């Protein structure tokens, strides 16, 4: 069955000039039309147990007919038969395929290991060893007490007699007591070792099974990712294993190749369809840990897709990055011999990046050539504009940094939210850590996240937007952006947020006020710089 779905009544000037950069894009109108057509066939989001990422790829066939393909992220079988989803790059769900067969063998090994770990024999041996060690410890303590008491009696007797035969008898008793004690310790040691040997034999068997499982699992992963074969527009093909090896990663992450974008491109290449534009969107409930909004478009994930798509996009004409780093200069709001207060434009890095030197740090070095301090005391996200402190001396840097660590510096941000927040104020307490599968995005994590607290207050509501003040009590990466967008936060992303909302001209987040103690005069200083949005 063909997965090609026709699009009709479109003119040549509506076609995209470049193919989509899957990591930095705004959806082409044809992708929006394709999504809207598919949405009618997707289940009601309210009836779904969990949401899913879907993708559409606008293509042309050999007859110059315009159409699109649709896919979803994940390797489970999609039960919605009304949509002709493109197939998996490699079908690991095939019950007769090697993966499921080897998976069964691994499951049997797991079951055997778990059965041994929970066996009565193992529990009995552990209990027997613990009881024996406990008993020996008590008996040793008791005998040592007896030996001590006997020793004290002998010493008293020695002090009251000069009889050589008595003294000789005392020595003999002491030696005999020590000999009996050493014999008992040797006996107990042998008894404990006997139990330990049985336990070691049992544990060694478990260890051997675990080694077999690890080896078998590694071999299966190697074979699996050698079976994921990807093509590109230049007619080349490579396995997932080969692609990730070139990125110094021995084994691809779990799920690599099962995302929507690689499936779409692979089917297009194999079916001689010309890729024109691609987009991915979320449908259904959002996970608690990461931010996914119903019906929003999202970029492809980094850890799984970036190496694969880097290969698959070869031969297609891609645009230059949509978001260029800002070349504007910082504005100095205040300076003296110790510090400077500056206004950072949106799109400018706080410190130099891997491929970009222009930054607040670089510009501050040029503006303050006599400064001998590290300059940067704290940072703002590249996309965030507003007030930053600059330390011109090492002493100023140290004092200001301590104020940040003690959270005595008061910061106020203004943000424009893409929706209406009904409450007037509140506090958000959601711990954050980096999303290892999709850097630099952050995720909520109660187990490993760092504490992140934001106080907020609504200052205006206008049509479908809410303007608020944020007062962060901590300074985690993307803290305000995640706290705004997350369902357990305000559930309303900041306007223009390309990671957690909808990309626009800029992120509408601005650090507009700061209050701190001057590192030399000890005076409280307050600076304000209103937002321009």
What tens digit of pLDDT does each residue of 62-78 get?
998 999 999 999 988 77
Evaluate whether residue 98 is within a structural domain: no
Q: In the structure, what pLDDT confidence band is assigned to residue 10 with cuts at 50, 70 and 90?
A: low
Known catalytic residues are 381
Same domain for 505 and 390? yes
Structure-derived torsion over alpha carbons of residues 422, 424, 430, 436, reported in degrees to the nearest 10: 60
Tens of pLDDT, residues 410-439: 999 999 999 999 999 999 999 999 998 888
Same domain for 143 and 67? no
Place of tokens 């711990």: 431
pLDDT at 106 over 80: yes
188, 212, 236 - which closes a domain: 212
pLDDT at 145 over 50: yes
Q: In the structure, what pLDDT confidence band is assigned to residue 501 with cuts at 50, 70 and 90?
A: very high
Same domain for 73 and 140? no
CB 127 within 8 A of CB 190: no
CB 260 within 8 A of CB 307: no
Closest-CA residue to 532 (of 346, 347, 389): 346
* DSSP result, 474-489: S--TTHHHHHHHSTTT
Instruction: State residue 323's pLDDT score.
Output: 47
Tens of pLDDT, residues 158-199: 888 888 888 888 889 889 989 999 999 999 999 999 999 999
* CATH number (domain holding residue 373): 3.30.2350.10
Evaluate whether residue 317 is within a structural domain: no
Same domain for 24 and 57? yes
Same domain for 398 and 510? yes
Within 10 A of 487 (CB to CB), how many other CB atoms are there? Answer: 14
Same domain for 239 and 208? no
Average of per-residue pLDDT across 82-90: 93
Closest-CA residue to 419 (of 492, 363, 347): 492
Place of tokens 């076609």: 15
> Is the full-model pTM beyond 0.85?
no
Evaluate whether residue 28 is within a structural domain: yes
Evaluate whether residue 473 is within a structural domain: yes
Count structural domains, the chain.
3
Our CA angle for 321, 250, 444, nearest 5°, is: 60
Instruction: State residue 1's pLDDT score.
Output: 66
212, 244, 259 - which closes a domain: 212
Same domain for 439 and 485? yes
Evaluate whether residue 275 is within a structural domain: yes
| Mean of pLDDT over the chain | 92
495 contacts: CB under 8 Å, gap ≥ 6? 416, 417, 418, 465, 501, 502, 504, 507, 508, 533
How far is the C-alpha of 482 from the C-alpha of 476, rounded, in Å?
A: 10
Average of per-residue pLDDT across 502-531: 95
Instruction: State residue 326's pLDDT score.
Output: 59
Instruction: State residue 9's pLDDT score.
Output: 64
Instruction: State residue 229's pLDDT score.
Output: 97
pLDDT at 116 over 70: yes
Domain range holding 368? 331-528
Q: What CA–CA distances, in Å, run from 467 to 348, 353, 384, 419, 476?
A: 23, 31, 16, 10, 22
């Amino acid at each position: 069955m063909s997965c090609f779905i026709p699009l009709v009544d479109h003119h040549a000037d509506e076609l995209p000039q470049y193919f989509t950069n899957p990591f930095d894009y705004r959806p082409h109108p044809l992708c929006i039309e394709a999504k809207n057509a598919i949405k009618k066939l997707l289940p009601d989001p309210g009836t779904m147990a969990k949401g899913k990422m879907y993708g559409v790829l606008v293509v042309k066939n050999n007859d110059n007919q315009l159409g699109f393909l649709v896919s979803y992220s994940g390797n489970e079988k999609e039960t919605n038969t009304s949509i002709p989803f493109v197939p998996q790059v490699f079908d690991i769900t095939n019950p007769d395929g090697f993966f499921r067969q080897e998976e069964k063998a691994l499951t049997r090994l797991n079951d055997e290991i778990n059965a041994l770990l929970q066996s009565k024999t193992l529990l009995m041996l552990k209990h027997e060893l613990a009881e024996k060690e406990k008993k020996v410890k008590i008996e040793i303590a008791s005998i040592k007490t007896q030996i001590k008491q006997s020793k004290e009696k002998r010493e008293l007797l020695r002090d009251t007699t000069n009889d050589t035969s008595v003294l000789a008898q005392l020595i003999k008793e002491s030696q005999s007591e020590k000999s009996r004690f050493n014999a008992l310790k040797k006996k107990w040691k042998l008894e404990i070792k006997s139990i330990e040997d049985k336990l070691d034999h049992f544990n060694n068997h478990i260890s051997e099974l675990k080694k077999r499982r690890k080896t078998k699992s590694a071999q299966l992963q190697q074979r699996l990712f050698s079976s994921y074969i990807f093509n590109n527009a230049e007619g080349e093909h490579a396995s997932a294993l080969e692609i990730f090896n070139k990125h110094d990663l021995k084994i691809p992450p779990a799920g690599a190749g099962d995302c929507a974008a690689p499936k779409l491109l692979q089917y297009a290449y194999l079916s001689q369809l010309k890729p024109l534009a691609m987009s991915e969107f979320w449908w259904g409930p959002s996970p608690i840990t990461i931010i996914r909004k119903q019906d929003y478009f999202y970029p492809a994930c980094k850890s799984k897709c970036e190496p694969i798509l880097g290969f698959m996009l070869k031969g297609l004409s891609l645009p230059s990055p949509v978001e260029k780093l800002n070349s504007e200069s910082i504005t100095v709001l205040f300076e003296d011999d110790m510090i400077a207060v500056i206004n950072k434009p949106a799109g400018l890095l706080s410190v130099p990046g891997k491929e970009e030197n222009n930054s607040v740090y670089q510009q501050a070095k040029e503006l303050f050539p006599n400064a001998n301090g590290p300059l940067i005391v704290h940072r703002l996200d590249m996309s965030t504009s507003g007030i930053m402190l600059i330390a011109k001396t090492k002493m100023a840097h140290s004092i200001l940094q301590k104020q940040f660590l003690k959270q005595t510096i008061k910061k106020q941000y203004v943000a424009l939210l893409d929706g209406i927040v009904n409450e007037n104020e509140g506090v958000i307490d959601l711990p954050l850590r980096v999303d290892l599968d999709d850097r630099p995005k952050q995720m909520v994590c109660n187990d490993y996240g760092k504490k992140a607290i934001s106080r907020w207050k609504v200052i205006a509501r206008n049509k479908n937007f809410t303007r608020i003040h944020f007062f962060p009590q901590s300074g985690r990466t993307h803290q305000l952006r995640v706290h705004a967008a997350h369902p357990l936060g305000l559930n309303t992303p900041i306007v223009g947020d390309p990671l957690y909302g909808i990309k626009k001209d800029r992120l509408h987040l601005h650090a507009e006020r700061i209050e701190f103690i001057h590192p030399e005069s000890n005076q409280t200083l307050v600076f304000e710089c209103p937002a321009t949005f």
